[in-house]
Each structure stands twice: as C-alpha cells, then as structure tokens.
Amino acid sequence: MRRSSRGEELLDCPQPMATTDTFFRAQSRTCSPCRGRARTRRIRPVGTSGRRHLVQRGPVNVDSILISEYASLDAAYSLTVVRTFNRIKARSLPARLPLLSVSIIIHAHPSEGGTAHHFELVLVSAKQGRVATIAQGDFHLTSPTGETPGLPIRHMMVFNAMQAEFPADGPYAFELFIDGTYHAAAAFYVGLVESE
C-alpha cells in the first residue's frame, strides 16, 4: 500500500471516473479490479481531517480541500487553518455552525499561467442531493513574483461557509467543480447530540 509524504493512504484505480460523477456517486459504484473500492483515485487522510476525494483532471488539479472552524490567507499568501473536523454534532435540525470554513489548494502546470477558470463550491447531501451553492466565480492562475520558473503554479482559496444549513442528519460533502467538471470533495457527517 502506497502512502504520500503526509502519511495519507493512496489508492489508484485503473478505471477512470466519468466527468459527470461526484463524491456520493463515486462511493456507491465499484469495479472488480478495485475489489469494491470507488472508481477513482481516493485519498484517506490520517488524523482529524475529513475524507477527501481528489480526481486528477489534466493541467489544473486539486491538492487539498479542508473543512475547518477557521481559515485565512495573509498578504504573504500563507494559509492558516484552525481545527479541521469530519463530524458535526447538532442540538437540533436544521443546523448551522457559527464557525465554518472551506480551504482549497490547487496546483496547475506552468503552461496554465495567466489563464482564468470558473469554479463552483457546492454543499451536497447523500439523502437530498445538492443543498446549497457556497461560492462560485472565476480564479486566475499566476505564479508569485520571484518563484522559480517551470515549477507548478499553486493557487489557494478560502471560503466562509457559515451560511450553510444542514436540513437533516447524515453524510454531506463540499464538492468543487472547475470549468463545469467535478474535481474534489471533502466529506463529513452531521448528527444529533445524544440526549442524556
């Protein structure tokens, strides 16, 4: 079994996933070479962060998508992420969190420098499908000044998702689409606090 430099388990499937597939569809379909695993490259992080599902899609790809209480990008383009999680306990439903951020790290081939891409970040439920659009717009890929020429371009985005409402318990995911194609998801579970 292969592991990344961050200790993540890497699973590779020889059968590529269709561009129309999303996180919950990929989890429900299997192929025989994978012996029941989803038909895509899946990364399972070790630790408290939620399960991530990343699909390599050509010159622009997603390195990470993280759910946390707080995240920010400073003027030096440094990403700060505080308290990642993959389970939400609510006292009642529908529920909202007072602190909720989604961080995305994208890398691109150097030839993509100066190009613009459209993105959409959506909240989906395994029970109800699409729940809400968290953010959408365009981002431009540029290399920071002074970076060594020829290195992959790294782009980071942080979104405040405090407006997201979870109407029922069960599995959820934040899914990222770039130029209309599904690229990545961060999954988590919403449940009720057990009564004492």
Q: Where are the domains of the chain?
A: 2-190
- Assigned architecture for domain 2-190: Sandwich (2.60)
The model's pLDDT over 49-87, given as tens digits with 9 standing for 90+, comes to 345 566 666 788 999 999 999 999 998 889 999 999 999
**pLDDT exceeds 70 at position 6:** no
Q: What is the pLDDT of residues 142-196, one digit of tens each?
A: 866 556 677 888 899 999 999 999 999 999 999 999 999 999 999 999 999 886 5
Rounded Cα distance, 192 and 88, in Å: 8
Instruction: Determine if the peptide bond prior to 94 is cis (ω within 30°).
Output: yes
pTM beyond 0.85: no
The average pLDDT across 105-116 equals 89
DSSP notation for 97-150? -SS-EEEEEEEE-GGGTT-EEEEEEEEEETTTEEEEEEEEEEEE--PPTTPPTT
Confidence check: pLDDT of 13 > 50: no
